[in-house]
């Protein structure tokens, strides 16, 4: 595989951009080597600047569920752009996208658009604190909610209820208000709420985590959280930035039949443009400015390009029973990879929910961060190198999800399974 042009660009990029990348996971640190610079993408394929083509399972980290450069989405964006790219004033497109989102997420009685998932979770947490007049929040180990200060916090080693910064630059005083608990463990939540429930504004969770690799919520776990939060008057926030319109049209809340108080969205609802959204119960959302005392704003929020891409994407997703097909493609890729691992005699765990899954190099069940972290990083790095050589692009980290799009063909999946077998055999 030729890499001359990518390597030359990386040398230039590091002189201008920290680490050569604008988001750290792009840097290939977890697998060794340097990132490929991409030139174009169409459907299920991406092409780098050296002309190498790959079947893409990153899909811009989730958004491109219709495949890259879908002609109708591109046409919608072009049409919107020709009428002006941003006004900082209301447009009809915002109402249309809100309607489409609410159609699948009826728990979002009001929805506000922002520009990223990070903004959505940051704003939802401020709202939860403003509404409940409490400061503490609970989140779960291995869940990622973007990079707002209150959320880049990990569990402290001493008292279970004191968080410590998970990044430099985060005030310890702020981190103390974030409690981090293990995922899939209801009794940890119960114990914490019994101890400090009256100080807790909200629990924020990825209902189907994808940011420590895909984890499947245990039977009764999400409904248990719903009951516990209700009994302690704590708000339940589903961060469905990844799972929304992915694990089901109505996200994990549809798939598992749970009504959270607030929901955060992003990724797919922007159709590949920068978007986030948060919304929920009317009574809570009425606390947001200009109606209420919780401030939140954005110069480019709801801009016509992003709204147009989102509207077209969500409209297309309602056609041709696409979610059934995504589920079937997901199942066939999972089965094929399982069988390949068996033939290659490499122990793996595959967690899948719909068209999102993760292959862990792990002998035991992966159900939370602690078990995911036991997976072999070395094996993954070797696996990833062979996949790239043979034309398959997985996320360059063992703790990410892979995604399928409606553009992935049975031929893509067959080729991927064959390549996965080669890569496993080579480990
Ligand atoms: C991607 C992601 C975010 C952050 O979204 P950005 O648009 O990258 O800021 C938040 N939560 C979850 C669950 C995500 O997957």
Q: Is the domain of 134 the same as that of 169?
A: yes
For ligand 1, atom 8, the nearest C-alpha belongs to: 117
Average pLDDT, the chain: 96
Give yes or no: 144 in active site: yes
Which atom of ligand 1 has the smallest separation from the CA of 143? 13
Separation of alpha carbons 261 and 223, rounded Å: 13
Does the CB atom of residue 242 touch ligand 1 within 6 A? yes
| Catalytic annotation, pick one of 144, 221, 369, 421 | 144
The pLDDT assigned to 265 comes to 98
The pLDDT assigned to 155 comes to 85
Q: What is the pTM of this model?
A: 0.97
Would you say residue 205 has pLDDT above 70?
Answer: yes
- The domain of 301 spans 71-316
- Here the CATH number for the domain that contains residue 292 is 3.40.640.10
Q: Is the domain of 127 the same as that of 222?
A: yes
Ligand 1 pocket: which of 58, 148, 213, 266 to mutate (most atoms within 8 A of CB)? 266
Q: Is the domain of 251 the same as that of 334?
A: no
Which atom of ligand 1 has the smallest separation from the CA of 116? 7
Give yes or no: 267 in active site: yes
Does the CB atom of residue 117 touch ligand 1 within 6 A? yes
Does the CB atom of residue 140 touch ligand 1 within 6 A? no
Which atom of ligand 1 has the smallest separation from the CA of 146? 4
83 touches 230 (CB < 8 A): no
| Catalytic annotation, pick one of 104, 136, 139, 267 | 267
Does the CB atom of residue 279 touch ligand 1 within 6 A? no
160 touches 176 (CB < 8 A): no
The pLDDT assigned to 160 comes to 62
CA of 269 to the centre of ligand 1 (A): 12
| Catalytic annotation, pick one of 177, 239, 261, 368 | 239
Q: Is the domain of 131 the same as that of 40?
A: no
Rounded percentage of the chain residues whose pLDDT exceeds 90 = 96
The pLDDT assigned to 162 comes to 81
Separation of alpha carbons 176 and 165, rounded Å: 8
273 touches 310 (CB < 8 A): yes
Q: How many domains does the chain have?
A: 2
Rounded percentage of the chain residues whose pLDDT exceeds 70 = 99
Q: What is the largest CA-CA distance in the chain?
A: 61
Does the CB atom of residue 145 touch ligand 1 within 6 A? yes
128 touches 140 (CB < 8 A): no
Q: Which of 269, 293, 316 is the last residue of a domain?
A: 316
Residue in the block written with tokens 């097909």: 325
- Here the CATH number for the domain that contains residue 356 is 3.90.1150.10
CA of 266 to the centre of ligand 1 (A): 7
The pLDDT assigned to 105 comes to 98
Q: Which of 266, 301, 316 is the last residue of a domain?
A: 316
Separation of alpha carbons 347 and 351, rounded Å: 14
CA of 411 to the centre of ligand 1 (A): 31
CA of 242 to the centre of ligand 1 (A): 7
Ligand 1 pocket: which of 146, 268, 356 to mutate (most atoms within 8 A of CB)? 146
Q: Which of 316, 338, 372 is the last residue of a domain?
A: 316
Separation in Å, CA 68 to CA 41, 235, 304, 332: 6, 36, 20, 22
Of 10-14, 30-34, 180-184, 290-294, least confident by mean pLDDT is: 30-34
Mean pLDDT (whole number) for 180-204: 97
Q: Is the domain of 276 the same as that of 181?
A: yes
pLDDT in tens, 38-50: 999 999 999 999 9
The pLDDT assigned to 158 comes to 61
pLDDT in tens, 121-167: 999 999 999 999 999 999 999 999 999 999 999 887 765 668 889 89
Does the CB atom of residue 221 touch ligand 1 within 6 A? no
Q: Is the domain of 114 the same as that of 246?
A: yes
Q: Is the domain of 82 the same as that of 224?
A: yes
DSSP alpha helix (H) spans, 241-302: 251-255, 282-285
Residue 321 Ramachandran class (φ > 0 left, ψ -120 to 50 alpha, else beta): left
Separation of alpha carbons 383 and 373, rounded Å: 17
The pLDDT assigned to 210 comes to 97
Please spell the DSSP secondary structure of 297-356, one letter per residue.
Answer: --TTTT-HHHHHHHHHHHHHHTSTTHHHHHHHHHHHHHHHHHHHHHHHT---EEEEETTE
Q: Is the domain of 134 the same as that of 186?
A: yes
Does the CB atom of residue 208 touch ligand 1 within 6 A? no
Separation of alpha carbons 346 and 174, rounded Å: 44
For ligand 1, atom 15, the nearest C-alpha belongs to: 242
pLDDT in tens, 386-399: 999 999 999 999 99
For ligand 1, atom 6, the nearest C-alpha belongs to: 117
pLDDT in tens, 340-360: 999 999 999 999 999 999 999
pLDDT in tens, 58-102: 999 999 999 999 999 999 999 999 999 999 999 999 999 999 999
For ligand 1, atom 11, the nearest C-alpha belongs to: 145
Does the CB atom of residue 263 touch ligand 1 within 6 A? no
Q: Is the domain of 324 the same as that of 312?
A: no
pLDDT in tens, 227-259: 999 999 999 999 999 999 999 999 999 999 999
Q: Is the domain of 270 the same as that of 343?
A: no
Q: Is the domain of 125 the same as that of 18?
A: no
Q: Is the domain of 89 the same as that of 37?
A: no
């Amino acid at each position: 595989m030729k890499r001359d042009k990518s390597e030359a660009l990386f040398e230039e990029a590091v002189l201008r951009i920290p680490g050569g990348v604008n988001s750290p996971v792009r840097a290939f640190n977890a697998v060794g080597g340097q990132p490929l610079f991409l030139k174009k993408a169409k459907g299920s394929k991406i092409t780098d600047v050296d002309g190498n083509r790959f079947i893409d399972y990153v899909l811009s980290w989730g958004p491109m569920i219709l495949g890259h450069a879908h002609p109708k989405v591109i046409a919608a964006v072009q049409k919107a752009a020709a009428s002006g790219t941003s006004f900082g004033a209301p447009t009809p497109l915002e109402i249309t996208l809100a309607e489409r989102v609410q159609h699948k997420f009826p728990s979002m009685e009001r929805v506000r658009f922002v520009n990223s998932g990070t903004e959505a979770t940051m704003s939802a947490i401020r709202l939860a604190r403003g509404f409940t007049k409490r400061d503490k929040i609970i989140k779960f180990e291995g869940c990622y909610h973007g990079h707002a200060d209150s959320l880049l916090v990990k569990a402290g080693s001493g008292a279970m209820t004191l968080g410590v910064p998970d990044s430099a630059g985060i005030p310890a005083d702020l981190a103390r208000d974030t409690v981090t608990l293990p995922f899939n463990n209801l009794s940890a939540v119960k114990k914490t709420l019994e101890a400090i429930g009256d100080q807790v504004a909200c629990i924020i969770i990825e209902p189907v985590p994808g940011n420590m690799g895909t984890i499947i919520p245990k039977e009764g776990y999400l409904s248990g959280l719903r009951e516990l939060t209700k009994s302690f008057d704590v708000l339940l926030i589903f961060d469905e930035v990844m799972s929304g319109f992915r694990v089901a049209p109505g996200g994990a809340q549809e798939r598992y039949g749970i009504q959270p108080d607030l929901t955060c969205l992003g990724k797919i609802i922007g159709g590949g443009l920068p978007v986030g959204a948060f919304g929920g119960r009317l009574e809570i959302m009425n606390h947001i400015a200009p109606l209420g005392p919780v401030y939140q704003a954005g110069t480019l929020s709801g801009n016509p390009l992003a709204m147009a891409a989102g509207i077209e994407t969500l409209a297309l997703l309602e056609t041709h029973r696409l979610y059934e097909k995504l589920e079937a493609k997901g199942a066939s890729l999972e089965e094929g990879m399982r069988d390949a691992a068996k033939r290659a005699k490499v122990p793996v765990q595959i967690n899948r929910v719909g068209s999102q899954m993760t292959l862990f190099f792990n002998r035991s069940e992966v159900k939370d961060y602690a078990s995911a972290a036991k997976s072999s990083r070395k094996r993954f790095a070797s696996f990833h190198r062979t996949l790239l050589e043979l034309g398959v692009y997985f996320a360059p980290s063992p703790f990410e999800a892979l995604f399928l799009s409606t553009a992935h063909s049975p031929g893509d999946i067959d080729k991927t399974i064959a390549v996965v077998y080669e890569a496993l055999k080579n480990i």
